[in-house]
Amino acid sequence: MVMRGSPLGRRIRQLSLPAAGSVKIKLLLCCCICFTLIALAGRASTFMGRKHRNGFSDRSSVPRKGYAILINTWKRNDLLKKSISHYISCSGLHSVHIVWSEPDPPSDYLVKCIDTIVRSESKGDRRIELKFDINKEDSLNNRFKEIKDLEADAVFSIDDDVIFPCSSVELAFDVWQSAPDTMVGFVPRMHWLDKSRNNMRHYGYGGWWSVWWMGQYSMVLSKAAFFHKKYLTMYTNEMPASVREYVARNRNCEDIAMSFLVANATGAPPVWVKGKIFEIGTTGISSLGGHNERRTKCVNRFATEYGKMPLVSTSMKVVDSRNTWFW
Ligand SMILES: *[C@@H]1O[C@H](CO)[C@@H](O)[C@H](O)[C@H]1NC(C)=O
């Protein structure tokens, strides 16, 4: 700089720099404080939103049919009790259906216990119905058996070892109501055309990492998903029996079968809703070795049964706008 050494230059620097500099620093500080405040406010509103939800979005004033929770359990009574105690506190829950596939029926003690839990939330005109669906044989197809006399159209299918906060469940239910033929869930999975085998179409199955990497999915797992109750009827009565047999024999992939069924019926992708997931159980089946190979086999087998690949990929993801403060 030419003026650097000159007295004028120095004067200008002395005059203007501290002023401009402090304004800039103040601006920066302001921005920092603002962002911190916004972030804190966001947190607080999420927190308060959960507590005082009924204050500003009174759902009970709108008559809605609600949803039935369809919970699959196997020899984990403590988890079952825990997750039912949680979900009955969610507004919109209409009934609880427990799919029981153990050789022994549930003990009187357990039934009484769960009945007490459910009844504790049935206040005023809110009556939550409780039903055990007891199966003699232990088949994965049990979880999608038709439920007779189900008042609600929506089924929220859930495993006993995962818990989602009510705000997530209600968001997913809202989405489902906008698209009642679609499967709406929290756990996305994907498939892709594996081009390595040229003659036959061979597909790959991708778990969480693949979805994260590709930003795409074509299934949502029934361990945490909403779907219309008509798909239960279709699963048992209209889906090719060979698919049900495959599921029962291999003790796997009932969720992929359900994804195929819905995709074939709608020709559309499912919807992935972002939800906070809390795993309360220990290890699930997906942590066993060889999991992805078995799932890949299922995808290819079902595609053969359908004579095409019904699954449709998408990159859409639904988020709760209250939790996103960058527009
Ligand atoms: C797929 O959907 C079509 C049209 O709805 C139906 O005719 C067909 O039976 C379905 N395929 C299977 C394997 O369920």
Q: Measured in angstroms, how far is the CA atom of residue 136 from the centroid of ligand 1?
A: 30
Residue 40 predicted with pLDDT over 80:
no
- 255 is annotated as an active-site residue: yes
Report the alpha-carbon distance of residue 258 to residue 182 in Å, rounded.
12
The rounded Å distance from CA 61 to ligand 1 centre is: 40
Mean pLDDT of 166-171: 95
Ligand 1 mean position, distance from CA 265 (Å):
7
How far is the C-alpha of 4 from the C-alpha of 13, rounded, in Å?
9
pLDDT at 127 over 60: yes
Is the pLDDT at 247 greater than 60? The verdict is yes
Whether residue 293 contacts residue 299, with contact meaning beta carbons closer than 8 Å, is answered with no
* Atom 13 (ligand 1) nearest CA: 306
Q: Which of 124-138, 200-214, 278-292 has the weakest average pLDDT?
A: 278-292
pLDDT in the model for residue 8: 47
Say which residue, 77 or 9, is predicted with more confidence.
77
Judged by DSSP in three states, 250 sits in helix
Cα 197 to ligand 1 centre (Å): 27
> What per-residue confidence (pLDDT) applies to 45?
52
Q: Which of 256, 264, 312, when mutated, tests ligand 1's pocket best, judged by the most ligand atoms within 8 Å of its CB?
A: 264
Instruction: Give the pLDDT mean for 181-187.
Output: 97
**8 and 16 Cβ atoms separated by less than 8 Å:** no
Spatial distance between the Cα atoms of 296 and 311, rounded to a whole number of angstroms: 14
Residue among 159, 160, 161, 255 flagged as catalytic: 255
Residue 255: pLDDT band (50, 70, 90) is very high
Q: Does 240 contact ligand 1 (Cβ within 6 A)?
A: yes
Q: Is the pLDDT of residue 144 over 80?
A: yes
In this predicted structure, the answer to whether residue 39 has a pLDDT above a threshold of 90 is no
More confident of the two residues 20 and 267: 267
pLDDT at 18: 46
Q: Pick from 132, 99, 107: which is nearest to 118 by CA? A: 132
**Cβ of 49 less than 6 Å from ligand 1:** no
* Ligand 1 pocket check for 306: Cβ under 6 Å: yes
pLDDT at 6 over 60: no
- pLDDT of residue 208 exceeding 50, the answer is yes
CA of 186 to the centre of ligand 1 (A): 26
Kindly list the distances between the CA atom of residue 187 and the CA atoms of 59, 158, 172, 255, 302, in Å, as whole numbers in the listed order: 26, 11, 12, 11, 20
Does ligand 1 lie within 6 Å of residue 264's CB atom?
yes
Overall average pLDDT of the 97-104 stretch: 89
Q: Is the CB of 203 under 6 A from ligand 1?
A: no
What type of residue sits at position 243? V
Binned at pLDDT 50, 70 and 90, residue 163 comes out as: very high
297 vs 55, more confident: 297
Counting from 1 in the atom list of ligand 1, the atom nearest the Cα of 234 is: 14
CA pseudo-torsion sign 152, 157, 161, 167? negative
Q: Per-residue b/e over 211-245, b at no fewer than 16 CB within 10 Å?
A: beeeebbbbbbbbbbbbbbebbbbbeeebeeebbe
Residue 266 CB less than 6 A away from ligand 1: no
Q: Which atom of ligand 1 is nearest to the CA of 305?
A: 13
Q: Is the pLDDT of residue 64 over 70?
A: no
> Does the structure show a pLDDT above 60 at 151?
yes
